[in-house]
């Protein structure tokens, strides 16, 4: 006989309590504790507790043959780059993003491409009807006999259909709509999401099927449900973007089969999502020439250099405490750079409001942007425009020194390809290799020296 257990579970972090509390002790969220009745089933009777291992006893590691599983390339380079080279059979991937950002569109496009390559794909939807999915497929131009569509929310029925169809790839949209019959809580609750994900993980590992699971996100941008959900899956991918921009960014925050530094960039069009091969041109196409506070920086996103415009606006404050606002970069890093400019360069910024923005809405987090932020702030403060043909690269220390960065060759190659004529980089990065032709490279050792080169036209 199963026993009923009454508990209160936080819908944000999964914290359990025998009584209701207004504030969750785990994540400090108010009004997130929801009552759930859990049927405790013996381990032998739990269907989701089946073993995924075919071995009855442990095997010495020396007897295990290391065979690299062949990946399934989707043909979409941006998507394959984020996954680490393609879809890995037997992997469980969590796919998150804001509502309406294009998650279902992208996954349906990937399903169509894989099915046209001869791989059987099962697309399971708990949110849309068959006709709605067909309308989207017609808009995307998807016609393949190997793409099967199923509308179902019962996890046992989904597992049965997977056994019958024997697909290579399964898409589930979304995990918050699926329910487990042995869990009495509502779909989307912590217990339901945890149990359904455990079933899908067992199916993926035991049958070698790649499963993509769509997850809803909270208003803070994190994937809804318990944090253990992200630990259970093999990869966690976010689909980001601004509603007033047409491009979307695919970013991995966890990947057991590849790097988490890679990003994929897509352009949302009427015919679907189109990959952007050269994102630097996209971010720089509307740049204004001869504007104070604007500079181009070279950031590395995984193995690919991306050139973006960094903008700064410095104005006298109207309040007792000046404002420091940053969009696309860490605002703590902005405060650090401004402190260095005030202490080491002599710029009086303590009574100035500062607004930093990465044009295009892309989010960057790399120390090599420091020197670009310092020059853009100094340019806006002094009302001196920068050259539209300059690119700035470098990390700034607290003593005002400019430190070296990695992959300087790739950054300079991308800058030269886009027509930039001069690059200001750390002096350390000019040593030990042959500088490229077609672009003037100036090495600087301090922020003061970089500002003199860019804003005052002085050279070493």
pLDDT class for 5, splitting at 50, 70, 90?
A: low
C-beta neighbour count of 227 within 10 angstroms: 15
Q: Has residue 394 got a pLDDT over 70?
A: yes
Q: Supply the pLDDT for residue 45.
A: 43
Q: Please tell me the predicted confidence (pLDDT) of residue 10.
A: 83
443 marked as part of a ligand binding site: no
More confident of the two residues 371 and 3 = 371
pLDDT tops 50 at residue 43? no
Q: Does domain 282-455 have CATH number 3.30.230.10?
A: yes
Instruction: Say whether 101 counts as a known binding-site residue.
Output: yes
Q: What is the pLDDT of residues 328-368, one digit of tens each?
A: 999 999 999 999 999 999 999 999 999 999 987 788 888 99
- Judge whether 103 is annotated as a binding position: yes
Q: Where are the domains of the chain?
A: 3-40, 70-277, 282-455
98 annotated as a binding-site residue = yes
Q: How far apart are CA 267 and CA 245, in angstroms?
A: 9
pLDDT digits (tens, 9 = 90+) for 126-157: 999 999 999 999 999 999 999 999 999 999 99
Of the listed ranges 65-74, 170-179, 372-381, 447-456, the one predicted with least confidence: 65-74
Does the pLDDT of residue 307 top 60, yes or no? yes
Q: Which own/partner contact pairs does 181-188 have at CB distance under 8 Å and 24+ positions apart?
A: 181/154, 181/155, 181/156, 182/39, 182/41, 182/46, 182/47, 182/48, 183/38, 183/39, 184/4, 184/36, 184/37, 184/38, 184/39, 185/9, 185/34, 185/36, 185/37, 185/38, 187/153, 188/216, 188/224, 188/225
Does 141 count as an annotated binding residue?
no
Tell whether residue 168 is among the known ligand binding residues: no
Give every CB contact of residue 220 below 8 A, 6+ residues apart in sequence.
none
Query: Is 162 a known ligand-binding residue?
Result: no
pLDDT score at 380: 96
The residue behind tokens 């309308």 is: 135
Q: Which CATH architecture does the domain made up of 70-277 adopt? A: 3-Layer(aba) Sandwich (3.40)
Per-residue confidence (pLDDT) for residue 457, from 0 to 100 = 72
What pTM does this model have? Answer: 0.76
Annotated ligand binding at 100? The verdict is: yes
* In the chain, % of residues over pLDDT 90: 58
């Amino acid at each position: 006989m199963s026993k009923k257990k009454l508990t209160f579970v936080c819908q944000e972090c999964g914290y359990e309590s025998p009584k209701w509390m207004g504030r969750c002790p785990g994540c400090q969220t108010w009004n997130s504790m929801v009552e759930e009745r859990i049927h405790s089933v013996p381990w032998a009777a739990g269907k989701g507790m089946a073993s995924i291992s075919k071995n009855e006893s442990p095997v010495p590691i020396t007897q295990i043959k290391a065979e690299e599983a062949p990946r399934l390339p989707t043909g979409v380079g941006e998507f394959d780059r984020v996954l680490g080279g393609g879809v890995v059979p037997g992997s469980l991937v969590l796919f998150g993003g804001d509502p309406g950002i294009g998650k279902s569109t992208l996954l349906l496009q990937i399903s169509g491409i894989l099915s046209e390559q001869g791989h059987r794909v099962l697309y399971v939807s708990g949110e849309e009807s068959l006709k709605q999915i067909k309308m989207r497929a017609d808009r995307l131009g998807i016609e393949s006999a190997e793409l099967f569509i199923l509308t179902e929310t019962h996890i046992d029925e989904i597992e049965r259909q997977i056994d019958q169809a024997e697909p290579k790839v399964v898409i589930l949209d979304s995990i918050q709509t699926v329910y487990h019959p042995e869990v009495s809580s509502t779909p989307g609750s912590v217990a339901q999401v945890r149990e359904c994900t455990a079933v899908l993980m067992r199916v993926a590992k035991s049958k070698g099927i790649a499963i993509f699971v769509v997850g809803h996100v909270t208003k803070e941008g994190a994937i809804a449900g318990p944090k253990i959900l992200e630990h259970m899956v093999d990869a966690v991918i976010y689909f980001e973007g601004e509603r007033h921009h047409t491009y979307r960014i695919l970013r991995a925050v966890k990947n057991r089969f590849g790097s988490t530094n890679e990003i994929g960039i897509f352009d949302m069009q009427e015919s679907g999502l189109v990959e952007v091969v050269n994102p630097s041109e996209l971010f720089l196409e509307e740049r204004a020439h001869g504007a104070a506070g604007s500079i181009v920086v070279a950031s590395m996103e995984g193995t690919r250099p991306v050139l973006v415009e960094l903008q700064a606006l410095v104005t006298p404050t109207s309040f007792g405490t000046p404002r420091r606002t940053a969009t696309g970069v860490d605002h703590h890093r902005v405060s650090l750079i401004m402190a260095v400019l005030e202490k080491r360069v002599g710029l009086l910024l303590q009574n100035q409001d500062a607004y930093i923005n990465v044009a295009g809405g892309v989010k960057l987090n790399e120390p090599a942007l420091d020197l670009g932020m310092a020059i853009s702030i100094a340019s806006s403060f002094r009302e001196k425009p920068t050259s539209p043909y300059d690119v700035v690269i470098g990390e700034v220390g607290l003593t005002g020194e400019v430190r070296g960065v990695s992959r300087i060759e790739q950054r300079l190659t991308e800058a030269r390809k886009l027509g930039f004529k001069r690059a200001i980089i750390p002096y350390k990065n000019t040593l030990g290799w042959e500088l490229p032709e077609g672009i003037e490279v100036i090495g600087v050792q301090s922020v003061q020296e970089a500002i003199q080169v860019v804003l005052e036209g002085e050279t070493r």
